[in-house]
Amino acid sequence: MSYIAVLPPWIVLDPLLHSWLLEDIGRGDRTTGSLLTGEVRLGCADWTAKQAGIIAGLPIAARVFQLLSHYANADKVPSGIGFIPMDVLLMGERVALNIAMRLSGIATLTQQYVEKIADLPARLVDTRKTTPGLRLLEKYACQVGGAINHRMGLDDAVMIKDNHIAAAGGIAEAIARIRQKMPYPLSIEVETTNLTEVEAALESGADIIMLDNMPLDLMHQAVQFIRSHSHQVKIEASGNITLKTIRAVAQTGVDYISTSGPVTRSTWLDLSMNIVNSSTDSLS
Amino acid sequence: MSYIAVLPPWIVLDPLLHSWLLEDIGRGDRTTGSLLTGEVRLGCADWTAKQAGIIAGLPIAARVFQLLSHYANADKVPSGIGFIPMDVLLMGERVALNIAMRLSGIATLTQQYVEKIADLPARLVDTRKTTPGLRLLEKYACQVGGAINHRMGLDDAVMIKDNHIAAAGGIAEAIARIRQKMPYPLSIEVETTNLTEVEAALESGADIIMLDNMPLDLMHQAVQFIRSHSHQVKIEASGNITLKTIRAVAQTGVDYISTSGPVTRSTWLDLSMNIVNSSTDSLS
Amino acid sequence: MSYIAVLPPWIVLDPLLHSWLLEDIGRGDRTTGSLLTGEVRLGCADWTAKQAGIIAGLPIAARVFQLLSHYANADKVPSGIGFIPMDVLLMGERVALNIAMRLSGIATLTQQYVEKIADLPARLVDTRKTTPGLRLLEKYACQVGGAINHRMGLDDAVMIKDNHIAAAGGIAEAIARIRQKMPYPLSIEVETTNLTEVEAALESGADIIMLDNMPLDLMHQAVQFIRSHSHQVKIEASGNITLKTIRAVAQTGVDYISTSGPVTRSTWLDLSMNIVNSSTDSLS
Amino acid sequence: MSYIAVLPPWIVLDPLLHSWLLEDIGRGDRTTGSLLTGEVRLGCADWTAKQAGIIAGLPIAARVFQLLSHYANADKVPSGIGFIPMDVLLMGERVALNIAMRLSGIATLTQQYVEKIADLPARLVDTRKTTPGLRLLEKYACQVGGAINHRMGLDDAVMIKDNHIAAAGGIAEAIARIRQKMPYPLSIEVETTNLTEVEAALESGADIIMLDNMPLDLMHQAVQFIRSHSHQVKIEASGNITLKTIRAVAQTGVDYISTSGPVTRSTWLDLSMNIVNSSTDSLS
Amino acid sequence: MSYIAVLPPWIVLDPLLHSWLLEDIGRGDRTTGSLLTGEVRLGCADWTAKQAGIIAGLPIAARVFQLLSHYANADKVPSGIGFIPMDVLLMGERVALNIAMRLSGIATLTQQYVEKIADLPARLVDTRKTTPGLRLLEKYACQVGGAINHRMGLDDAVMIKDNHIAAAGGIAEAIARIRQKMPYPLSIEVETTNLTEVEAALESGADIIMLDNMPLDLMHQAVQFIRSHSHQVKIEASGNITLKTIRAVAQTGVDYISTSGPVTRSTWLDLSMNIVNSSTDSLS
Amino acid sequence: MSYIAVLPPWIVLDPLLHSWLLEDIGRGDRTTGSLLTGEVRLGCADWTAKQAGIIAGLPIAARVFQLLSHYANADKVPSGIGFIPMDVLLMGERVALNIAMRLSGIATLTQQYVEKIADLPARLVDTRKTTPGLRLLEKYACQVGGAINHRMGLDDAVMIKDNHIAAAGGIAEAIARIRQKMPYPLSIEVETTNLTEVEAALESGADIIMLDNMPLDLMHQAVQFIRSHSHQVKIEASGNITLKTIRAVAQTGVDYISTSGPVTRSTWLDLSMNIVNSSTDSLS
């Protein structure tokens, strides 16, 4: 069960990585800056996982060191060796580990959810409950763990909730008004909590119907009802999904199960980095 | 046990909050943008904690809505009412909740650590293991939970580790070289793993000696040794601190116990927000 | 035929407006800065269209003056009057006119396309051929003129073209691989140029099939073929759409007709702004 | 008639190009990101003009691909080949074409104006009516078409209009006050609409006198009047300049003719880009 | 002798002031942040000059406090009182004083130069030798002291030096090539060091001729030579201008004397700020 | 007496250098851009100090040219030669010289202070009186001249002044409140002006006691008093330190002497740069 996740291109991510490095380095690494000057020492780093889990974020950790290397005095660095300057290793270590540990923790828990329903057609999807600033990367970690991403933000899909329906004066009115204005390839999803709302959403032409916090039997009825009318509409279950409940939810026949669990209930995977100093001899 | 935490001024934090809003809003909130136009609807929000815990981050959540309100068409908003535009509530909801849930989770676990040692002189301190981009706020959450912050980055204190010592040729040499160059109010901390290193650090004039991953009895000996020579030097215990082990560590007599646990092992506290639509009548 | 377009929130647009003002003001408005100092003069502005057309962008023009007013020395400005400082009017005039003239030109031509097919079910959609930096606003202008927006960028819908198909080894393979990785509410569109490709796209589960540069009779056949198999799949015509050809294309029964014409072939609508200086008397 | 235009250095333009790429790529190119991963495919691109015209902006289009290549995983790319990664070609294509098509449209129409007066001493100059955000590049396109740039913004020349004169209390007063404050190498231009104003501007020491919207015979008189008093003052005609009227205006003897026509009345030149996939064999 | 200087609009300057505040505040004012929380204390500040001199930069200092006030929790601040929050005063004090002291030092020395030639027609102008980042403000301080600004950067005037002449193959060639490409209202200045170069510059149509580092008698000859041929060309003396030499230089009849002295040889004017704490009573 | 200063890493400084280049280049170097196009000319630069002094900032000047070279069309530049493109030299010259002249002036005056006390234990430290925007670099220049840096901003040390003491209700109260909230490795410094305050600061556990503007005999008493109670507390003298008074102050036995003199009373060191054009032959 190997998933290849889609990482946004570096032109999108690099500004983020830059800001992380500046957050940690501040006005300069006092310790390294005071001790590792003059001659350039090179080194390399071994990473070890002290815990079983799914590793995510290694390309990002590598990019952290790559970015930092661009700012080192490259002309002093002997080329053609797989080692990089020690000060780069020391200055980038914490940031690289922090992101990899956080993302690996998410990927690990995601996979545990995914395994519960691996033999069923339902697919796990994530939510917009992500750490502010890390949306793209935490959703990447969910992919690494085997989930599919839900919408990335408020702009790439429409999700109609109770306040919207109230503002529009009904589900049908809301969908009609939105279809006139939103970019046409976007999907419209409607949150429903009972069969009346499910029916209204179905009749109004929703692309996705979310069954929100429904008891299992009600969810089962809703799926049956929708499927008896349409095979195109996607059905998403949401609300209180846990490792214990997810399988039963999947068995109702929904297409997608969305949960923030892997993001909000995961802890960091314990990784460590060991820096190996290149001996002076090896360079001479 | 109430702690008042120090939140950095908004001039420092606002750019961060802005970037979070843009991350979520992207090119615009399709749903709200399509449905809530024309007349301005006002509303207000109730926040509920579905779980016991320490709440952190409410001022930040409030600031999210304040920032977003600056961008609303203020001249259409009736003044003098405690309600704010509905589209501001809907667009800011997720970001405000996400940060408050994350920070409250940290504060809650921090407090559990702190309670274990509340009657002992040792104080809990955090680390640089923080989510990239959230350093200031996660350390604020640690304060809310009762901890003291350790250094904020690589620039506001010196921490000498094995690689630095190797580069300098010894603890004494490292400290001497650093004292010549670093800003003079900064402290120098040295990581030690055995008594020989403790002695070297003490003799070389370290301000803080970290006892890293020492067994309890060795830690006890180290504290005795240091205290027999100096009452000024601060002693910090670090490594594998858990809710189970922290009390025994504190009883060795160390001044500070540092752990990333509240940040890396906490989950989000479950909060929810309920938007109350102001009736049309109340405005007429 | 009045359309209400969705303008992204100011938190998204303001940075753009700022950069435009700085582009024009540079190191400072030499003329205004040298002549309009000391006492604050107020004024207001009349806008006139010297040409018939659809006006778009007035809220943006107004925002330009609003932004600039934030930077004026507000405490010198008598409040409660509908006039704003003269230097704000003079410094913002060119930027405000430039954007409104450009957008109105687009809206005007868009409407001409839309009118040609107003009685047919087909809807006009725009493309990614937009002036760099103005994507959101030019697409807003298209909405003002009566079109629906197509995808806003490379990230909110999938569009499979020949190079992608070649890379994947076929349409079916491409769609299968993409479904595993893209956010699930996104749509997949496939470009086709003949019936074989149309059939492959249909069988592989494309959400939207683009008929690219097809002769009218081929397009007609493609529509018949698709409709005989599915009523869910959306059909989009594209390529060489002009005011002369659009009606015939719409009559083939496609759902959407996409063209960059309103953006690439429109000229600016001629608008002018007349500044009325408030007399000194009216302020005394 | 070949003109070599002055393109601002990349350190000035690159931030602009970056923002364009991010505008189009958003959170990542879903199609390319999902299909072109793993092995690096290389390709190159042929550009074709489907319309006769003056091409402008090719260096900028090339820079778009160069910038994007910096963010590709360069270590996977075989060096020494003239091909670049396919994902770079696909992600940069639209932005590169959009800017080149827009600028080429401007250059093409500019040249048509220039040709009308090629045998006369008068020179064509552009205006500040440029697309917000594209000032530098649209003025570059005007140069490519054979025009000379007028002032680039509000800060590199003084232009005194009616509102300024009213504020200062007369042309002479305005010029005197400005000369005390503006950087001394800057020129002062005064807008005039009749001979009285022309005379006042001449006497007050204006460097450039603009004849704004004057009928041809009045313009002729104004030129005669100015030339009888000074050969240093530059004379600029402005207002309602079209391909039909420009030659007659030039024949009045003015030095410069300014018009926004090439920017506001041009359409995009039709260019297309064909991507050639490098065969797998050529890399083995 | 009072000069009113032109300060660029705040939309241009504010980002600079922001960056200064962040430079000083870093992650937060530890002292003020720890002590001045809870209730809002108000205060005001008296500024005192401990040295005679020309004060420059007070509007900028005031803006520093204004900007910082925007970030204070304004809803806690009693309105209608001339006092501002104490934490704003304490956090902005150093930045406000630093800029005012630096600019006042420049204005003071500028005025001493200006006074030496106050009865002569020659005017003092500044140079591009300014502290990186402070160009606009140091040139503003020069204006406050009575000087006129020279060009603001490399883009708003042409200055031909020896390397340029060598590259072009002569003064005439250089001017001819530049006239084809630069924005037409810009001036061309040529550096000359002897009469041959002066003659070449004059013949080639330079707008301004700089006499660089010429002995007084040679400068006198150059002025005579130029004036015998043209009264339009501006003459600028440059090089080794001091308070002792400036008067003799002005007496040669040059129009402008440029020197970096006020910027590079001035020291800070000693200013101090006294914060007055509003008593608690006055608020009750 | 050679000091090796700690320069912050380029990832911290580069954005600053970028902004300086853009400040000077504006919309493009008109002179160089018009003359040095087409073929790439190479050159190199000799730097000369026209004045004796301590040179500081050469690595920064070199970085200016390095940054600018990244934006040159590198593929046209013959590699393996020590020359860089002429347009890079001409565009970067002023910025590179300006920063080096300013920093060298500071380093030179710093060294004069340092020499006065070179045989005494007291060390010179700088202050927060630095040019806005240049804090890190001016403090680097102070290091080059032999001083030690004081705190870098409001966040990396606590400095309790009279307003803070008033707000807290006494020195002891202030220190106690701060210790609860500030990051624990930070030092607390208290400003004192008489022996009563010195005693209070000592008893309250201040890490550093500043003797502010004390007469020499009072300062002597304060040092004696402090030393009779503690050898850990650092003592800093401040206020009216000049080249004439510094030695006597040092002889009172203080550990540190802080003064803004090297920053506020230094003038620029006169440096010049001579560009050597590579002959065409050497490239062929």
The predicted structure's pLDDT at residue A284: 33
Mean pLDDT (chain D, rounded): 92
Picking from E27, E68, E87, the nearest residue to B152 by CB comes out as: E27
Res. F282 pLDDT band, cuts 50 70 90: very low
Host H or E run for residue C179: helix C171-179
Map residue D9 onto helix, strand or coil.
Answer: coil
- Mutation choice for A interface testing from C1, C135, C184 by most A CBs within 10 A: C184
In the predicted structure, residue F80 carries a pLDDT above the cut 60? no
Q: What is the pLDDT of residues D36-79, one digit of tens each?
A: 866 678 888 899 999 999 999 999 999 999 999 989 865 555 55
Cross-chain Cβ contact E26/F174 below 8 Å: no
Residue ranges of chain D that CATH labels 3.90.1170.20: 10-109+268-278
Instruction: Please identify which of the residues E161, E173, E203, E227 carries the catalytic annotation.
Output: E161
- Which segments within chain B are labelled E, that is strand? 42-49, 84-85, 123-125, 158-160, 188-192, 208-212, 234-238, 256-258, 271-277
Beta bridge partners of B42: B85
The answer to whether residue F26 neighbours chain C at the CB level (below 8 Å) is: yes
The predicted structure's pLDDT at residue B76: 55
Distances (CA, A) of B172 to B193, B204, F169: 16, 5, 42
Cross-chain Cβ contact B177/A135 below 8 Å: no
The predicted structure's pLDDT at residue B81: 54
Q: What is the pLDDT of residues C56-76, one digit of tens each?
A: 999 999 999 999 998 986 555
What class does CATH assign to D10-109+268-278? alpha beta
The answer to whether residue E75 neighbours chain B at the CB level (below 8 Å) is: no
In the predicted structure, residue B4 carries a pLDDT above the cut 80? no
Letter for the amino acid at E193? T
What class does CATH assign to A116-264? alpha beta
Q: Which two tokens stand for residue C235?
A: 């059909």
> Range with the lowest mean pLDDT among A161-175, B187-201, F251-265?
A161-175
Picking from D21, D30, D37, the nearest residue to A11 by CB comes out as: D21
E129 labelled catalytic: yes
The predicted structure's pLDDT at residue B244: 97
Mean pLDDT (chain C, rounded): 92
Using an 8 Å CB-CB cutoff, list chain D residues near A152. Answer: 27
Cross-chain Cβ contact D181/E125 below 8 Å: no
Order of strands, sheet of A84-85, starting from the edge strand that comes earlier in the sequence:
A84-85, A42-49, A271-277
Instruction: Please identify which of the residues F76, F161, F227, F265 carries the catalytic annotation.
Output: F161
Using an 8 Å CB-CB cutoff, list chain B residues near F176. Answer: none
Res. D1 pLDDT band, cuts 50 70 90: very low
The residues of D annotated with a catalytic role in the active site are 94, 129, 161, 191, 212
Map residue B28 onto helix, strand or coil.
Answer: coil
- Mutation choice for A interface testing from D30, D71, D77 by most A CBs within 10 A: D71
**Among C225, B30, B150, F164, residue whose Cα is nearest residue E32:** F164
Q: Which two tokens stand for residue C240?
A: 């060489």
Give the residue with greater pLDDT, E89 vs B38. Answer: E89
Q: What is the pLDDT of residues B131-151, one digit of tens each?
A: 999 999 999 999 999 999 999
Mean pLDDT (chain F, rounded): 92
E191 labelled catalytic: yes
Mean pLDDT (chain E, rounded): 92
Cross-chain Cβ contact D27/B27 below 8 Å: no
Picking from B18, B30, B71, the nearest residue to C10 by CB comes out as: B71
A191 labelled catalytic: yes
How many residues comprise chain B?
284
Q: What is the pLDDT of residues C195-244, one digit of tens each?
A: 999 999 999 999 999 999 999 999 999 999 999 999 999 999 999 899 99
**Among D101, D99, D21, D270, residue whose Cα is nearest residue C239:** D270
Using CB atoms, list chains with 3+ pairs below 8 Å to chain A. B, C, D, E, F
State the nearest Cα–Cα gap between F26 and chain C, in angstroms: 8
Give the residue with greater pLDDT, A42 vs C172. Answer: C172
Letter for the amino acid at C200? A
The predicted structure's pLDDT at residue E211: 98
Cross-chain Cβ contact E189/D185 below 8 Å: yes
A139 labelled catalytic: no
- Mutation choice for C interface testing from A143, A148, A178, A184 by most C CBs within 10 A: A184
Picking from C12, C14, C153, the nearest residue to B28 by CB comes out as: C12
The answer to whether residue F16 neighbours chain E at the CB level (below 8 Å) is: yes
Residue ranges of chain B that CATH labels 3.20.20.70: 116-264
**Over chain A, what HEC string results?**
CCCCCCCCCHHHHHHHHHHHHHHHHCCCCHHHHHHCCCCCCEEEEEEEECCCCCCCCHHHHHHHHHHHHHCCCHHHCCCCCCCEEHHHHHHHHHHHHHHHHHHHHHHHHHHHHHHHCCCCCCEEECCCCCCCCCHHHHHHHHHHCCCECCCCCCCCCEEECHHHHHHHCCHHHHHHHHHCCCCCCCCEEEEECCHHHHHHHHHCCCCEEEEECCCHHHHHHHHHHHHHHCCCCEEEEECCCCCCCHHHHHHCCCCEEECCHHHHCCCCCCEEEEEEECCHHHHC
Q: How far apart are CA A114 and CA E86, in angstroms?
A: 55
Give the dihedral sign, CA D219/D224/D229/D233: positive
Using an 8 Å CB-CB cutoff, list chain A residues near F7. Answer: 28, 33
Q: What is the pLDDT of residues E73-122, one digit of tens each?
A: 655 555 555 678 889 999 999 999 999 999 999 999 999 999 999 999 99
Res. C48 pLDDT band, cuts 50 70 90: very high
- A66 Cβ contact partners less than 8 Å away, ≥ 6 residues apart: none
The predicted structure's pLDDT at residue E247: 98
Q: What is the pLDDT of residues D70-80, one digit of tens each?
A: 898 655 555 55
The answer to whether residue B82 neighbours chain D at the CB level (below 8 Å) is: no
Cross-chain Cβ contact C4/A182 below 8 Å: no
> Range with the lowest mean pLDDT among A77-91, B197-211, C240-254?
A77-91
The predicted structure's pLDDT at residue C92: 96
Cross-chain Cβ contact C27/F27 below 8 Å: no
The answer to whether residue D6 neighbours chain F at the CB level (below 8 Å) is: yes
In the predicted structure, residue B77 carries a pLDDT above the cut 60? no
Q: Phi/psi of residue F269, each to 5°?
A: -80, 135
E244 labelled catalytic: no
Using an 8 Å CB-CB cutoff, list chain A residues near C207. Answer: 185
Cross-chain Cβ contact A128/B182 below 8 Å: no
With a cut of 50, list the residues of chain E below it in pLDDT: 1, 279-284
The predicted structure's pLDDT at residue C24: 98
- Mutation choice for D interface testing from F24, F64, F71, F87 by most D CBs within 10 A: F71
Cross-chain Cβ contact D184/E155 below 8 Å: no
Res. F74 pLDDT band, cuts 50 70 90: low
State the nearest Cα–Cα gap between D11 and chain F, in angstroms: 6
The predicted structure's pLDDT at residue B199: 97
Instruction: Please identify which of the residues A129, A155, A162, A173 carries the catalytic annotation.
Output: A129
Q: Which two tokens stand for residue C160?
A: 């499979």
In the predicted structure, residue F179 carries a pLDDT above the cut 70? yes
Instruction: Please identify which of the residues E87, E126, E197, E212 carries the catalytic annotation.
Output: E212
Picking from D4, D6, D155, the nearest residue to E156 by CB comes out as: D155
Of all residues in chain F, the one with the smallest CA distance to A88 is F9
Those of residues 109-138 in B touching chain E at CB distance below 8 A are 136
Q: Which residue has the tokens 């901890």?
A: B147
Using CB atoms, list chains with 3+ pairs below 8 Å to chain E. A, B, C, D, F
The predicted structure's pLDDT at residue E40: 74
**Alpha-carbon torsion angle A174, A179, A181, A183, nearest 10:** 130
State the nearest Cα–Cα gap between E19 and chain A, in angstroms: 14
The residues of C annotated with a catalytic role in the active site are 94, 129, 161, 191, 212
Picking from F18, F21, F28, the nearest residue to D6 by CB comes out as: F28
The predicted structure's pLDDT at residue C73: 67
- A119 Cβ contact partners less than 8 Å away, ≥ 6 residues apart: none
Whole-number percent of chain E with pLDDT over 90: 80
- Mutation choice for B interface testing from F184, F186, F207, F234 by most B CBs within 10 A: F184
State the nearest Cα–Cα gap between D276 and chain F, in angstroms: 23
**Alpha-carbon torsion angle E191, E195, E199, E204, nearest 10:** -20
With a cut of 50, list the residues of chain A below it in pLDDT: 1, 279-284
Whether the CB-CB separation of F222 and F87 falls below 8 Å is answered with no
Q: How far apart are CA C193 and CA F108, in angstroms?
A: 74
Letter for the amino acid at F47? W
